[in-house]
Amino acid sequence: MDTTEILRRLVAFDTTSRRSNLDLVHWAADYLDSAGARVRLTSNASGEKANILATVGPDAPGGIILSGHTDVVPVDDQDWDSDPFSLISRDGRLHGRGAVDMKGFVAACLAAIPAWLARDLRRPIYLALSYDEEVGCVGVPLLIADMLAHCPRPALAIIGEPTQMRIGLSHRGFYGYRSVFRGRAAHSSDPRLGASAIEPAAALVAALAAFGDERSGGGGTTVNIGRIEGGSAINIVPERCEIVWEFRPPDATAAEAVLAVVEGLAAGLEAGVSVETVPLASVPPLNCNPDSPAVGVARQLGGLWPPITMPFGTEAGFFQQAGIPALVCGPGSIAQAHQPNEWIAISELAAADRFLARVGDWAAAEL
């Protein structure tokens, strides 16, 4: 099957993050296994979601990881001109949910498997497909841990998110939290008998907003307060207030600075008030050195230069955190992602096919 036909099959699986991805996983695993790849699956606690790790080539160190995710964002309340889960070709574009983000890249990798298997590879090629990337990169830590436990350490990872085949070297991280303040209810005629949960919550909102304002220029840390809820009536001192918030730092030092603000406020709460802050999402930033050997490999494969800084997060930071040099390079434009009538240009898939053919050349070359 060629890339377009495989993409047609992948789009037909509704892998919206709130649903199981197992139908797609089982189809892809059967395809990979029947072609001759070695396949490992890792599942979440409920068994409703799974990652795929497929290996082509020798059981040796120094291989390349090609990484993508299987889930897609919802189509609810979007005005599509066609069935989102049926691939439609129009004017040199292929439309369907996930066509660009990022089943197009996954389809190109799957289409390349038979050609890779036909070669005498000297380095392994790993295809790593994760679950629940769109809701906080939930599956990829499990995938990476399993890979490092059972496979020789690879030389680099390329995450195929849409960059129009440009090499992406950096992006900010994404960290989401829920902070729940608890106080003591009382009649508002004498607030001294209670302890407001809203007032310290408001202080945290103000501190986070000021932090973001000071550092958001020039690619620095951004902060967003996504939701705040508290209190029960105008004449009751509020005993509970909840804030859901997120921030996007360029590096680990910036992330620590935000969390220090939160810890400082928690340490100074008045008697009778407490706060519990729990993480909701944790996606580390990516900072790949332009002089890294991984960049040289990506350029050799046809990744376009000069590099870009991406405005969106990816799973690349997890590979980097695990000690595997990582970068981003994939077909299509992020501008089409998450949109009604999502599409990828056929020419972009052709560029991905050429890139992946060169992956086979690289893996077969003399060491």
Domain boundaries, the chain: 3-171+285-364, 174-283
- Cβ neighbors of 24 (< 8 A, separation 6 or more) are 10, 13, 15, 70
Class of domain 174-283: alpha beta
Instruction: Using a cut of 0.75, tell me whether the model's pTM lies above it.
Output: yes
Are 316 and 137 spatial neighbours (Cβ–Cβ below 8 Å)?
A: no
**How many Cβ atoms are within 10 Å of 273's Cβ, its own excluded?**
19
| Catalytic residue flag (residue 353) | no
Q: Say if residue 52 is exposed, middle or buried (CB neighbours under 10 Å; 0-12, 13-18, 19+).
A: buried
Report pLDDT for 216.
Answer: 63
Question: To the nearest whole percent, how much of the chain has pLDDT over 70?
Answer: 98
How much is the average pLDDT of 94-110? 98
In whole numbers, what is the pLDDT of the chain averaged over residues?
96
Report pLDDT for 219.
Answer: 66
The DSSP element (H or E) to which 165 belongs, if any, is none
Q: Which of 318, 332, 326 is nearest to 102 (CA)?
A: 332
Which residues are 50's β-sheet partners? Answer: 43
Three-class SS state of 154: coil
- Cβ neighbors of 366 (< 8 A, separation 6 or more) are 122
With 80 as the cut, is the pLDDT of residue 247 above it?
yes
| Catalytic residue flag (residue 146) | no
What angle is formed at CA 260 by the lines to CA 259 and CA 266, rounded to 5 degrees? 90
Report pLDDT for 210.
Answer: 87
Question: To the nearest whole percent, how much of the chain has pLDDT over 90?
Answer: 95
Three-class SS state of 139: coil
E strands in 85-211: 88-90, 93-95, 125-130, 156-159, 166-171, 174-182
Q: Do domains 3-171+285-364 and 174-283 have the same CATH topology?
A: no
Three-class SS state of 158: strand
How much is the average pLDDT of 126-152? 97
Q: Which of 137, 136, 150, 164 is nearest to 334 (CA)?
A: 164
Task: Name the CATH topology of 3-171+285-364.
Answer: Aminopeptidase (3.40.630)
pLDDT in tens, 275-309: 999 999 999 999 999 999 999 999 999 999 999 99
CA distances, 357 to each of 29, 44, 334, 364 (Å): 21, 33, 23, 11
Q: Which of 344, 364, 317 is nearest to 162 (CA)?
A: 344
Inter-axis angle of helices 3-12 and 104-117, to 10 degrees? 130
pLDDT in tens, 192-228: 999 999 999 999 999 998 887 777 665 689 999 999 9
Selected catalytic residue, list 133, 315, 348, 353: 133
Q: Residues in the chain, how many? A: 367
